[in-house]
Structure formats: C-alpha cells, structure tokens
Amino acid sequence: MQARQLEITGAFEFSPRSFPDHRGLFVAPYQEAAFVEATGHALRVAQTNHSVSARNVVRGVHFSDVPPGQAKYIYCAQGAMLDFVIDIRVGSPTFGRWEAVRLDSAEYRAVYLAEGLGHAFAALTDDTAVAYFCSTPYNPSAEHGINPLDPDLGLPWGDLDGEPILSDKDRDAPGLAEAAASGLLPDYRDCLAHYEKLRSE
C-alpha cells in the first residue's frame, strides 16, 4: 500500500493494491502497518459507519470537538465520490483550505482525516456506498457542521452534474466565519498536542 501525506497537516491518502481474477477482485483498503508508518500512531476504531447516497448527495462539512475529536478513515465500497478534507482548525497555516480526493470502487483509495479536520463528500454515482472507521463513537453533543455551500469555503459543487442534495441540518449549518466567530471551531495547537499524544502512546 502506498501512502501520501496531503498538504493539510493530519490528512493522508492511502492507495492499496488490488488483486483481480476470474472470480472478481480482492483488496485491503486499510492496512495497519502502512497506516502506522505514515501517521506515526495506530488507528483506534471505536465505531464503523456505512452510508449509501444517491448521485449528487453532499454530506458534510462535519467535525467534532477536540479533545477527543473524531478521526476518520474513509473509503468508497461502491460507486464513486469526491472526498474533501477541510482545514477548520483556528490558527492553522492552512486554515480555510481544502483538498479533494476521488474515492471509488475501482481503485479503493482511502483518506484519513485526523481529529479537528472537517469532512465532506459528494456522491458521483447512484448507490455510492461509503465506509468510515471512526476513532470515537457518535457523540451528538460534540459534533458540529459547517454549511458545505458556504462561498468562503469555495468547494467545487459546480462540478456535479446536478444541484447538490443536502440534509436540512447541513443546509442550516453556519458558515465558516460564523462558526469561527462563535468559538465553535477546533484550535490548531490543541489538535497538534492531541496528535503528539497519539504518537507517544
């Protein structure tokens, strides 16, 4: 498996090798040794999530309070999606920037987002199935959102072949500036301290 660190600190792309034959295909989208070598720590999995989305569905931007935060390891089990890592950590040198990685069931690449980063994706096909390994369980009181259509983020939803389909919760979420002004966003220094703690355990 190949690993690539993205420009946003705490975000990585993983590319596994696939083994097709006359029966179908075998692939291991998560491999602990490659993950530890890239990130410097093991992945704690407290919960796994699975979502299925219609074409043009947008989910996110989602994030959690740090500490403890919620890191996510994500791959597309069926279909195709455009996955976004958004740096929403106040004080980060890349605050407000995002990176996009196409995830699909042809190459089974995966994205890891450390605690404190924002996550969103757009389904590019019907019945896009997404698997998430989460470092902490669902905690509604600690989970927040930013409107993915916020022009300050500049996420390229215009590349979709139709209008983005959002939940009411995501559409009603605050913009990036409003979330920052209200003190809702994670602090970069707190996140770095948390990452260092993970590497020392």
**CA of 36: how far to CAs of 26, 86, 93, in Å?**
22, 22, 25
Per-residue pLDDT of 69-87, as tens digits, reads: 999 999 999 999 999 999 9
The alpha carbon dihedral of 116, 144, 80, 50 has a sign of positive
CATH of residue 182's domain is 2.60.120.10
Q: Which domain holds residue 24?
A: 2-200
How does the average pLDDT of the chain come out, rounded?
Answer: 96
Instruction: Select the more confidently predicted residue: 201 or 183.
Output: 183
Helices (H), the chain: 32-39, 168-171, 176-181, 188-200
Establish whether 73 is a catalytic residue: no
Is there a contact between 11 and 85 (Cβ–Cβ < 8 Å)? yes
Domain tally for the chain? 1
**Catalytic member of 30, 112, 132, 144:** 132
55: pLDDT strictly greater than 90: yes
Per-residue pLDDT of 97-147, as tens digits, reads: 999 999 999 999 999 999 999 999 999 999 999 999 999 999 999 999 999
Question: What pLDDT sits at residue 158?
Answer: 83
Establish whether 144 is a catalytic residue: no
- Which residue in 122, 108, 110, 116 sits closest to 136, CA to CA? 116
Which 3 state secondary structure label does DSSP give 178? Answer: helix
Question: What pLDDT sits at residue 159?
Answer: 83
CA pair distance 84, 81, nearest whole angstrom: 10
DSSP, res 142? G
Predicted TM-score (pTM) of this structure: 0.95
**Catalytic member of 30, 62, 75, 108:** 62
